[in-house]
A and B are shown apart, each in its own frame.
Chain A
Amino acid sequence: MKEITYLEAIKEALNEEMARDASVFILGEDVGVYGGAFRATEGLSNKYGEWRILDTPLSESGFTGAAIGAALVGMRPIVEMQFADFISCAFDQLVNVAAKNHYRWGAATPIVVRAPYGGNIHGGAFHSQCIEGFFFNVPGLKIVAPSTAYDAKGLLKAAIRDNDPVIYCEHKYLYRRIKDTVPEEDYVVPIGKARIALEGKDVSIITYGAMVHTALEAAQVLKENRVSCEIIDLRTILPLDKKAIFNTVKKTNKVVVLHEQTKTGSIGAEVSALINEYCFDYLDAPIIRVAAPDTPVPYSAQMEEAFIPQVKDVVSAVEKLMHY
């Protein structure tokens, strides 16, 4: 075992998969000699050359489309969006081409789109967005969002080996802030499986991404008040691990859904609807959603803090449920 950061985990997964499989290659803006805006591909250009770490024109739809075409003839391309926000320029290729190829005409499209997403980094409206919601309503895509270094590495490997288009949401705030242990040997984290980040019995907090850490902090505070929280880290957002969601509801009977994505039409709305549809009889209280408000991500530190769900917001939501 060794301890590495979330960003190092991503780097290691890229490097190991490229070494393992000659059909894996990376394309995007400034990924080559420069090593990517967040340095995720640093050093890979030297090792694999300019055709496997391919610097593209500033052209998200173009290089995403190209990744799809390469995948159709046997490659396993990894697209790097410089910031997840720019994925909107490639929306059509992902939604109408990649997502529908297999259903429409039986052609597998094994691409991974790495999307550095999320706020708390003072990036403003165009460098902080949570983009998973844009694609949540698109059958045919898979969306993953790791919260630990272990999952960052294992899910990226799984995404690269998967035969479907996977949007890999990597949270920028976690890049250098999170460190945990990963095995020396090869492993994958299966797509479609949530994990229990913390076992508990009173209230379930269902979340993913950077908010897992907010939930863990909140659980620490609540523990001092003798409230035991169970935290479900979804890890895969599309398709959702319904079994894991229902199991925790059946156990605690009280649910907070927490995410950094804006509230309306969100992942949390779907989780809440699923519980309502399939587990209503197990609920002892209404589900509470803690989410960002329905606005663009603001720039000033004070406003951004008000925008992103904080530990105190989670604590008060759980307390509200405890007093229901």
Chain B
Amino acid sequence: MDIKREDLLRLFYYLKLTRRLEDRVTSLYHQGKILGGAWTSNGTEAVSVGYGYALEKNDIAAPYFRDMGVFLIRGITAKRIMAQYLGKKTGVTGGKEGNVHVGDLQYGVFGFPSHLADNYPVGAGAALAFKIRGEKRVVAACTGDGGTSRGDFHEGMNLAAVRKLPIVFICNNNQYAYSTPLKLQMAINNVAERALAYGMPSKIVNGNNVMEVYTAAKEAYETARNGGGPTFIECKTMRMHGHSEHDSAKYVPRELLEEWKKKDPILHMETYLMENQIAKKEELDGIDLQVQKEIEEAEAFAEESPYPEPEEVLKGLYATPIEE
């Protein structure tokens, strides 16, 4: 699949935006400015950017917590995300939720429930609705390698396969689930082998190559959109930070990190764009400058934003409130 220059540069922009936003969150975390935890997708940004960018406007993303690229691409701004991290009223959820536990239906993004893989069946349900209504929309649902051990992963995959639902299941296989390495998570070498049991086609891609992720997702979406049913895409990558920023990840062998550092998804994209004379260094630096400015503005916006009123705690429980 040929990716247009304009799209390649957008992919690069979103990789940078995701990285720089989360890097800034990491700094703020260490300064004690983040209210709760800080989980980043560092090293694995190409997964969320690739599958997120391949979606059409009316499609739905049912993400997990290392999917910052998806949030940004769908239209949830860096400003709202920063404010979310600081527990501000202007955050995506107005302070009701923290960090990456966001969702916004206006942008076709389902909220991320912490319980990993919950969004597999939930995503399948949206795909079911599209199928019932005969709409040509698709869903992308994502989880980590650890999440694929949960029942909801299997229940969601099975239901989607049986009913040939228009959904693509993505797995960010970053080798670790918190401290648990893949070999203690499953007795198979590739997560994608799980799809076999459901009669579902699968694909393994280099999760550090955003173009590969984008292309595989795009193709799978088109199959799903045209009635061909679900696909499972395993993106092989490496979590380069701790599970969360409090975690030094001493349990990950240094050599493994060194090896993956050379395969950094942003470095990879930058090299590709320059070697193939798609963009010059100056142009890419320009994009990076723009990203840095955006992050600075987002942080300032978040800092200046008001906190929610304590009374908000009692609001919004029900969509149809019941009078006492």
Q: Are B115 and A73 in contact (CB under 8 A)?
A: no
Q: Which residues of A contact B60 (CB under 8 A)?
A: 73
Q: Are A69 and B93 in contact (CB under 8 A)?
A: no
Q: Which residues of A contact B37 (CB under 8 A)?
A: none
Q: Which residues of A contact B120 (CB under 8 A)?
A: 65
Choose among A72, A101, A242, A243 the residue that contacts B126 (Cβ–Cβ < 8 A). Answer: A72
Q: Is B279 an interface residue (CB 8 A)?
A: no
Q: Are A96 and B159 in contact (CB under 8 A)?
A: no
- A92–B119 Cα distance when bound, in Å, is 12
Q: Which residues of A contact B245 (CB under 8 A)?
A: none
- A105–B109 Cα distance when bound, in Å, is 11
Chain B residue at smallest Cβ distance from A66: B125
Contact A105/B121 with A62-B155, A164-B318, A191-B322 known, Cβ cut-off 8 Å: no
Give chain B interface residues in 146-167, CB to chain A under 8 Å. Answer: 151-152, 155-156, 158-159, 162-163
Q: Which residues of B contact A227 (CB under 8 A)?
A: none
Minimum C-beta distance from A79 to chain B (A): 10
- A62–B165 Cα distance when bound, in Å, is 14
Chain B residues with a Cβ closer than 8 Å to the other chain, count? 47
Q: Are A59 and B158 in contact (CB under 8 A)?
A: yes
Q: Are B115 and A92 in contact (CB under 8 A)?
A: yes
Q: Which residues of A contact B102 (CB under 8 A)?
A: 105
Q: Is B136 an interface residue (CB 8 A)?
A: no
Contact A65/B158 with A73-B126, A192-B323 known, Cβ cut-off 8 Å: no
Chain B residue at smallest Cβ distance from A60: B155
- A179–B281 Cα distance when bound, in Å, is 80
Q: Are B124 and A62 in contact (CB under 8 A)?
A: yes
Q: Which residues of B contact A311 (CB under 8 A)?
A: none
Q: Are B115 and A102 in contact (CB under 8 A)?
A: no
Q: Are B125 and A68 in contact (CB under 8 A)?
A: yes
Contact A93/B318 with A51-B131, A73-B130 known, Cβ cut-off 8 Å: no
Q: Are A103 and B316 in contact (CB under 8 A)?
A: yes
Interface string of A134-148 (1 = CB under 8 A from B): 000001101000000
Q: Is A57 an interface residue (CB 8 A)?
A: yes
Q: Are B319 and A108 in contact (CB under 8 A)?
A: yes
Minimum C-beta distance from B159 to chain A (A): 5
Chain A residue at smallest Cβ distance from B121: A65
Contact A62/B101 with A52-B132, A106-B93, A162-B320 known, Cβ cut-off 8 Å: no
Q: Which residues of B contact A106 (CB under 8 A)?
A: 93, 105, 316
Most buried by A among B118, B122, B139: B122
- A31–B102 Cα distance when bound, in Å, is 35
Q: Is A75 an interface residue (CB 8 A)?
A: yes
Chain A residue at smallest Cβ distance from B111: A105
Give chain B interface residues in 171-228, CB to chain A under 8 Å. Answer: none
Minimum C-beta distance from B196 to chain A (A): 17
- A135–B250 Cα distance when bound, in Å, is 41
Q: Is A97 an interface residue (CB 8 A)?
A: yes
Q: Are B152 and A61 in contact (CB under 8 A)?
A: yes
Q: Is A56 an interface residue (CB 8 A)?
A: yes
Minimum C-beta distance from A301 to chain B (A): 36
Contact A65/B122 with A102-B316, A105-B103 known, Cβ cut-off 8 Å: yes
Q: Is B113 an interface residue (CB 8 A)?
A: yes
Q: Which residues of A contact B101 (CB under 8 A)?
A: 104-105
Minimum C-beta distance from B153 to chain A (A): 10
Q: Are B122 and A97 in contact (CB under 8 A)?
A: yes
Q: Is B96 an interface residue (CB 8 A)?
A: yes
Give chain A interface residues in 75-116, CB to chain B under 8 Å. Answer: 75, 77, 92-93, 96-97, 100-110
Q: Are B123 and A69 in contact (CB under 8 A)?
A: yes
Interface string of B279-323 (1 = CB under 8 A from A): 000000000000000000000000000000000000011111011
Q: Which residues of B contact A74 (CB under 8 A)?
A: 129
Most buried by A among B96, B125, B126, B129: B125
Q: Is B23 an interface residue (CB 8 A)?
A: no
Q: Is A182 an interface residue (CB 8 A)?
A: no
Q: Is A178 an interface residue (CB 8 A)?
A: no
Contact A163/B125 with A57-B159, A104-B93, A106-B93 known, Cβ cut-off 8 Å: no
- A69–B152 Cα distance when bound, in Å, is 13
Chain B residue at smallest Cβ distance from A106: B316
Q: Is A200 an interface residue (CB 8 A)?
A: no
Minimum C-beta distance from A228 to chain B (A): 29
Contact A65/B132 with A57-B158, A73-B60, A110-B319 known, Cβ cut-off 8 Å: no
Q: Is B114 an interface residue (CB 8 A)?
A: yes
Q: Which residues of B contact A97 (CB under 8 A)?
A: 113, 115, 118, 122
Most buried by B among A25, A62, A106: A62
Q: Is B258 an interface residue (CB 8 A)?
A: no
Q: Which residues of B contact A191 (CB under 8 A)?
A: 322
Chain A residue at smallest Cβ distance from B98: A104
Minimum C-beta distance from B31 to chain A (A): 27
Chain B residue at smallest Cβ distance from A22: B133
Q: Are B324 and A93 in contact (CB under 8 A)?
A: no
Contact A57/B162 with A102-B318, A104-B93, A242-B324 known, Cβ cut-off 8 Å: yes
Q: Which residues of B contact A71 (CB under 8 A)?
A: 125
Q: Which residues of A contact B110 (CB under 8 A)?
A: 69, 72, 107
Give chain A interface residues in 121-172, CB to chain B under 8 Å. Answer: 139-140, 142, 162-164
Q: Which 5 A-B pairs have the closest CB atoms?
A: A69-B125, A65-B121, A62-B155, A66-B125, A108-B319
Other than the given A75-B132, A101-B111, A107-B111, 5 more pairs (CB < 8 A) read A54-B163, A65-B152, A69-B127, A70-B125, A107-B110
Can you report 28 residue pairs joining A to B where beta carbons are below 8 Å apart? A51-B131, A51-B132, A61-B121, A62-B121, A62-B124, A62-B152, A63-B159, A65-B118, A66-B121, A66-B125, A66-B128, A68-B121, A69-B124, A69-B139, A73-B129, A75-B132, A77-B125, A97-B122, A100-B113, A102-B317, A102-B319, A103-B317, A105-B104, A106-B316, A109-B319, A139-B317, A239-B322, A239-B324
